[in-house]
Amino acid sequence: MKTFKNKFIFYTFFLASIFILSTQVSSAPIPKAPNIDVSSYILIDYDSGMVIASKNPDLVLPPASITKIMTSYLAFTELHNKTLGLHDEVLISKNAWQTGGSKMFIEVGKKIKVQELLHGIITTSGNDASVAMAEHISGNEETFAIYMNQMADSLGMYNTNYANSTGLPNESLYTTARDISILARALIKNFPIEYKLYSQKEYVFNDIKQYSRNKLLYLDDSVDGIKTGFTKKAGYCLATSAKRGSRRLISIVLGAKSPDQRTKASKSLLEYGFRFYETHKLFSSNQELTQARVFSGDKDYISLGVKDSSYITIPRRQIKNVKKKFIIDQNLTAPVSENEAIGYVAIELEGKTITTFKLFAMEPVSEGSFYRKTLDSIYRYF
């Protein structure tokens, strides 16, 4: 009997220890983001757009050749609008040919296909190729810069101003890590096929082989872009994206002191985000999330949902603690149009709202009959 009692006590203690240990593991705190000695950085999740880590993300800085992401973005836009073709030939001006800095080594008076110029802009970071593309699309680089700024505004890059297509030093050229992350996310979302050009490690033009300056393309198979930059004032900069499984992260590092530092900083940010954070899909597009009471309409309730699939990025093993709170107009009155914004759903974690999603009417509601309006007015009065 004593032996049985001892065994019972042992196993009870053993199981209790396992439970306590598993509880401690599951609630283990997330370590702080890497302490990186650069001017600014930001790490975001591609699907949710949420910020995982940042340092001075809204500090205005010169972007150097990261500017060329917008140059290529506009070229991709023109291709999709069919106002530009990959096999269109671009006459190289003296102005483009003599542009200083990194070069594709195009020659004045020659005709170069758009497809080749894109490789020159993206892989070899050719300033000459960027100017040639800008002149071909907009007539001159000054007009192209206006186009760049219009696109930046439409994307929500409110702390950015472009002055040229190359990133060469200019007092009127500036941006932020946050704005670059917005642009990088839009690039991957809107041009997934063209984005593959950013994973190319080398390109040969005029028998000259040049290599991408993004060393992470060689060090990490999950990295498939995006762009490096350097000037004395900007320091060493790197916009990076990596995809592991179904998750994609985007990191922006500005103002590093060396090429190796920007590479190590970007890699440490990506590892931090993949290791300690998770992304979860909360809602699907056209999925009914809740209903709202409608007064004076031809129906009493209306279905509400989100327009696009909605994701959140949170510390690992915290999805069970996520709560949803619906905030809806309590005096909603017909008529209501389909896709009209009705309210929003707040996503909370540990008592704090971490993000919100707008709720839209999934169907129209017309005005009800005089009888229905009368009943609802009485109901609302009492």
- Active-site amino acid positions: 65, 68, 125
Max Cα separation, the chain? 101
What secondary structure does DSSP assign to 257-308, as a single string? SSHHHHHHHHHHHHHHHHHHEEEEEEE-TT---EEEE-BSBSSSEEEEE-SS
**Crossing angle, helix 68-80 and helix 114-122, to 10 degrees?**
150
Q: Phi and psi (nearest 5°) for 97?
A: -60, -40
SS3 97: helix
Q: Nearest 5 degrees, angle CA 371-CA 373-CA 374?
A: 65
Q: Which residues of 159-183 are buried (b: 16+ CB within 10 A; e: fewer)?
A: bbebbbbbbbeeeebbbbbbbbbbb
- Those residues whose C-beta lies under 8 Å from the C-beta of residue 85, and which sit 6 or more positions away, are 79, 114
Query: Which tokens sit at 283?
Result: 């809602």
Give, for 243, the enclosing helix (H) or strand (E): strand 235-244
By CB atoms closer than 10 A (0-12, 13-18, 19+), residue 94 is exposed
C-alpha torsion 11→16→18→19, nearest 10: 140
The alpha-helical segments, DSSP class H, found in the chain are 2-26, 68-80, 94-97, 114-122, 127-138, 141-155, 177-190, 192-195, 216-219, 259-276, 370-381
Q: How far apart are CA 228 and CA 101, in angstroms?
A: 14
Q: How far apart are CA 376 and CA 203, in angstroms?
A: 70
C-alpha torsion 360→364→369→375, nearest 10: -20
SS (H, E, C) 198-209: HHCCEEEECCEE
